Amino acid sequence: MRQLRPDTDIQPRRFHKLVKFSLAAFLVIFLLEIWTVNRLATFGDKIQQIEDTRASLELENQYLKSQIAEQSSLPVVEKKAAELGFVPMENLAYLQTTSLAAAR
Amino acid sequence: MIMPLRNFHAHSLTGGTREISPGRLKLLRLFYYLLFAAVAVRLFYWQVLRFDDLSAMADQQHLVNYTLQASRGTITSADGAVLATNRPSFLLYGLPEAVKNPSDTAAKLAAVLAPTPAPDQTDNTSAERQLKEELQSDLSQALDWVTLSKNVDLPTRQEIEKMNVPGLGFESQLQRFYPEASTAAHVLGFVGSDASGQPTGYFGLEGYYNGELTGVGGEVVEEKDAQGFPIAIGRFSQKDAQSGRNLLLNINSTVQYIVEKHLKEGMEKYGARSGTVIVMEPKTGAILAMASFPDYDPNNFSLYAKNDFLNPAVADSYEPGSTFKPLVMAAAINEGLITPETTCDSCSGPVKIDNYYIRTWNDKYFPETTMRDVLIHSDNTGMVFVSRKLGLDKTYDYIQKFGFGAPTQIDLQDESSPTLRPKNEWGMIDLATASFGQGIAVTPIQLVRAMAAIANGGYLMQPQVVHAVQIGNAWRVIQPKVVSRPISSQTAATVTAMMVDAVSKGEAKFFALKGFNIAGKTGTAQIPVAGHYDPTKTIASFVGFAPAEDPKFVMLVEYEQPSSSIYGAETAAPTFFDIAKELLAYYNIAPSY
C-alpha cells in the first residue's frame, strides 16, 4: 500500500521549485539587461548620424527661409514684374459711384 | 573556517612525507593576510580617496559639452516683410597636416570661393589666382588648424563638401541677414561684434533693442565614447537655447519702398547732397516710413564709413525755415492773439530789428495782409508781426511745448537733439528769426511730430517705430503715448485750413494733387556757414498731411543743398506730392471733391 506523503513534505518541495524558478528568472533578466545595455552602448554612431541629419536639415531650412525673404522683397518683385511686362501705375482715375455710368 | 594549527605533512616527490612546522604555517598565513590587507588598502586608496580626481578625469575624457547658439530675434514690417533675420554661414578651416596637396586643394577652393566679378568686369582670373596663393600659403603653414574663409554660405559649403578633399572642415554660425539690403537701413542699424567678439547691435533698432533681440545660448553635456559617438545610455543634459524676441514694426514695407523710390529719384533730379523723408501716422505717432540718402547696406556695413550709419532723420539738426511758420501761427491763435483774418500793420516793407532787416523771400510785400495770406505767401514780415504779438516768453514756451530742444524718445539708438539757447540769451532778432524757422535748430523727427499735433487735433505724440515685441507666444503691443497737448482742437482745425490754403494757393500749387485737401507748407532755409548764411546753400523742405479732414499720414521731405533749385516749392514739394499720390491710392483714400 502506497503511503501518502504528508503536507509538510510537499511544501518544502514547492518552495524549492519557487526559489529555483526565481533564480532562473533573475538570471535571464540579468543577462537580458547586460545584452540590452551592450547593444545601446554602441548605438552612438546611429545617434550621431541622426543628429547630423537634423542639424543639416535645420541649417537648410534657415537658409531657405532667408532666401524666401530675399526673393519676396519689393525691389526683387518689381524687377520680376517688369520682366513679365507689368508697368507702374501712371494715371489713376476715380469714378464717382453716384454717377450714372458707374451705377450701371 | 580557520583550520586549527596542527602538524601538517607535506608529500615529497620521492613519495615520502615531511612534517611542516606550525610556525611556518603561521608565517604563511600572516603573509597572505598582509597581502590581502595591502590590496584592500590600495583599493581603498584608488576607489575612495582618489574617487573625485579619477571620476573628474573620466568625465573629462568622456563628457563633451558644447553651446547651442541662440538665434537673434527677427524684425518684420507691419505688412509682413522680413527686414532682418538670421542665415547660417560657415567658417571654413583647414588642417594643414591632413592636407596632402596644398596647391591642388587651394586651386579647387579658389575656384569656388573667388568673389563674383563686378558687372563691368569680364574676367575674374586675377582675383581667383590671388586667392589661390593665399589659401596655399595658409595650408602650407606648420599649424594644426588654420582659418581659410569666413561667411561661407550653405550652397558653397555643399559644393566644397562634394569635392571630398581631406583636411577641410566647417564651423557653423548664424549670421545676421537683411533680405531687403539697404531698405530702411538707417532704421534697422546692423549687428557687429563688441570688444569680446559677441554679436551686438549698433544704431537704429538693432542698437536700441539689442537686449530684446539677443537670445540666450544653450548647452548640451553628453558622454561620448572613444570614437566620439554619443553613448545612448550615458549621461546627457541639455539646456535649450532661447531665441531673441521678435519685433513687429509700424514701418510698412510698401510705404517704405514708395518713399525710397521717390526720394532716390528726387536726389538725382534735383542734385541734392542728401535727402530725408519721414512718414508718420499723426493720431498714434507710428512711424510708417523713414528714409535717408545716402544710405548703406547693413549686410556689408564694414565697407562704409562710420558717419554713414547715423540716421539723419533723428540725429541731424537743421534750421527748418518756413515749415516752422504754421507752429508759431498755431501758438498765437491758441493764445487768442490773432485769427486767420487778423491783418498785419507792419508788412508793407522790410522790418528793421536792431541792425538787421527782415525781408520776404522774394522781396514782395503785401500791406495789410491777413494771417492766412502770410502762410500762403510765406511772408517773413507777417511772421515777425505774429512773434511780436506772442512775445518772447510765450514763443519760447510754445517752442518747448511742441517738443523742440529735447529728444522725442523715439525707439532708435542714434537720436540726438540740439538744445535751445536759454531764453535770457535771446534778443529781439532771435525772436523774429525764430518765427520763420531760422536761428533755431531742429531734427526732422521733431518737426514731423510737432506738425502731427496740428494734424491730429492738438496732441503731441511719442513717435514709435516698433508696434509690438514677441515674448514667448504672445505679443506685447506698445501703446501710443500722448506726451502733451500744446494746442486745442479748434486751433488745430483753424491752422489746418490755413495750411490747405497754403498748398492750393501758395508756391507749391502747381504740384498739388487735384481732388484732395492736403495741408502743407514749403520751406527754404539758408544754411549757416562760418557765422553767416550762404544764400546759395539751402535746406529745401516740405511738410504736410493728408487728407486734411482726416489725416492718414503726416510727411516731411527734406533735401540738403539741391543744385537744380534752392526752393522747397520746386524740389521737396513735387517729391512730397509724388509720394502722397501713391500713398493715397495705397490706402484707398478717394478724392474729397
Give B83 to chain A, closest Cα distance, Å: 8
User: Is residue B260 within 8 angstroms of chain A, CB to CB?
Assistant: no
Choose the mutation target among A62, A78, A91, A96 for the interface with B, i.e. most B CBs under 10 Å.
A62
Are A44 and B232 a contacting pair at CB < 8 A? Answer: yes
Contacts of B35 (CB under 8 A, 6+ apart): none
Q: How many domains would you assign to chain B?
A: 2
Cβ pair B179:A47 closer than 8 A: no
pLDDT top residue among B483 and A90: B483
In a domain, A3, yes or no: no
Contact (CB<8Å) B229/A70: no
Nearest chain B residue to A56, by CA: B154
Q: Within a domain: residue A75? A: yes
Give pLDDT, residue A51: 85
* Contact (CB<8Å) A40/B86: no
Q: Which residues pair with B521 in a beta bridge?
A: B543
Please check whether residue A56 touches B, CB under 8 A: no
A35 reaches B (C-beta below 8 A): no
Least Cα separation, residue B179 to chain A (angstroms) = 4
Partners of residue B67 on adjacent β-strands: B219
Residues of chain B with Cβ-Cβ distance to A75 below 8 Å are: 180-181, 183, 257
Judged by CB atoms closer than 8 Å, whether chains meet at B81 and A74 is answered as: yes
Tell me, yes or no, if A103 comes closer than 8 A to chain B by beta carbon: no
CB contact under 8 A, A92 and B181: no
Cβ–Cβ gap B153/A63 under 8 Å: yes
How many Å apart are CA B507 and CA B373, to the nearest integer?
A: 12
Best interface-test mutation with A: which of B67, B83, B87 has the largest number of A CBs within 10 A?
A: B87
Task: Point out the domain boundary residue: B29, B63, B97.
Answer: B63
Of B147, B150, B123, nearest in space to B135 by CA: B147
HEC per residue, B338-360: CCCCCECCCCCCCEEECCEEECC
Tell me the three state secondary structure of residue B129.
helix
| Complete DSSP assignment for B228-240 | SPBPTTS-EEEE-
Q: Indicate whether B434 belongs to any domain.
A: yes
* Residue B147 within any structural domain of the chain: no
pLDDT score recorded for residue B1: 47
Q: Name the nearest CA neighbour of B399 among B416, B389, B387.
A: B387
Nine-digit cell string for B317: 539738426
pTM of the model: 0.84
Range of the domain at A55: 8-103
Domain finish residue from B35, B63, B91: B63
- Name the residue among B85, B233, B257 with its Cβ closest to that of A66: B85
Total domains in chain A come to: 1
ipTM summary value: 0.76
State the DSSP code for B306.
Answer: G
Tens digits of pLDDT across chain B (593 residues):
445 545 555 555 665 566 678 888 999 999 999 999 999 999 999 999 999 988 888 877 778 888 888 899 999 999 999 999 999 999 999 998 888 888 999 999 998 888 766 656 566 678 888 888 889 998 888 888 899 998 898 889 999 999 988 889 998 888 999 999 999 999 999 999 888 888 999 999 999 999 999 989 889 888 887 777 777 778 888 898 899 999 999 999 999 999 999 999 999 999 999 999 999 999 999 999 999 999 999 999 989 998 899 999 999 999 999 999 999 999 999 999 999 999 999 999 999 998 999 999 889 999 999 999 999 999 999 999 999 999 999 999 999 999 999 999 999 998 999 999 999 999 999 999 999 999 999 999 999 999 999 999 999 999 999 999 999 899 999 999 999 999 999 999 999 999 999 999 999 898 999 899 999 999 999 888 777 788 788 999 999 999 999 999 999 999 999 999 999 999 999 999 999 999 999 999 999 88
Residues in chain A closer than 8 A to B233 (CB atoms): 37, 40-41
Q: For residues B182 and B186, give the distance between their C-alpha atoms in angstroms, rounded to a whole number.
A: 8
Contact state of B85 with A40 under an 8 Å Cβ cutoff: no
pLDDT at A6: 55
- Cross-chain residue pair A94–B590, CB shorter than 8 Å: yes
B367 touches chain A (CB under 8 A): no
For residue B439, tell me if it sits in a domain.
yes
Q: Which residues of chain A from 60 to 99 reach within 8 Å of chain B, CB to CB?
A: 60, 62-63, 65-66, 69-70, 72-75, 89, 92, 94
CATH number at residue B496: 3.40.710.10
- Helical spans, DSSP H, in B282-355: 312-315, 325-334
User: Where is B476: in which H helix or E strand?
Assistant: strand B474-477
> Does some domain include residue A17?
yes
Cell numbers describing residue B438: 531760422
* A41: contact with B, CB 8 A cutoff: yes
Write out the residue range of the structural domain in which residue B39 sits: 17-63
What residues form DSSP beta bridges with B470?
B475
Q: Distance (Å, rounded) from C-alpha B24 to C-alpha B30? A: 10
Give Cα separations from A30 to A39, A40, B233, B428, B436 (angstroms): 14, 15, 17, 102, 96
Give yes or no for A40 touching B (CB within 8 A): yes
Chain B residues within 8 A of A97 when measuring between CB atoms: none
CB atoms within 10 A of CB B200: 16
How far apart are alpha carbons B91 and B150 in whole angstroms? 5
Q: A29-73: per-residue pLDDT in tens?
A: 999 999 888 887 777 788 888 888 998 898 899 999 999 999 999
The verdict on residue A58 lying in a domain is yes
**Taking the alpha carbons of B446, B450, B451, B456 in that order, is the dihedral positive or negative?**
positive
Inter-chain contact B85–A65, Cβ cutoff 8 Å?
yes
Do B233 and A94 count as a contact with CB atoms less than 8 A apart? no
DSSP labels for B519-579? EEEEEEEEEEETTEEEEEEEEEEEEEEESTTS-SEEEEEEEES-SS-S-GGGTHHHHHHHH
Nearest CB neighbour to A74, from listed B224, B230, B257? B257
- Residue after which a domain boundary falls, among B48, B63, B78: B63
Which secondary-structure segment (H or E) carries B276?
strand B274-280
Would residue B180 count as lying in a domain? no
Q: What are the grid coordinates assigned to B271, written together?
A: 542734385
* Residues of chain A found within 8 Å of residue B231, distances taken between Cβ atoms: 41, 44
Per-residue pLDDT, B318: 94
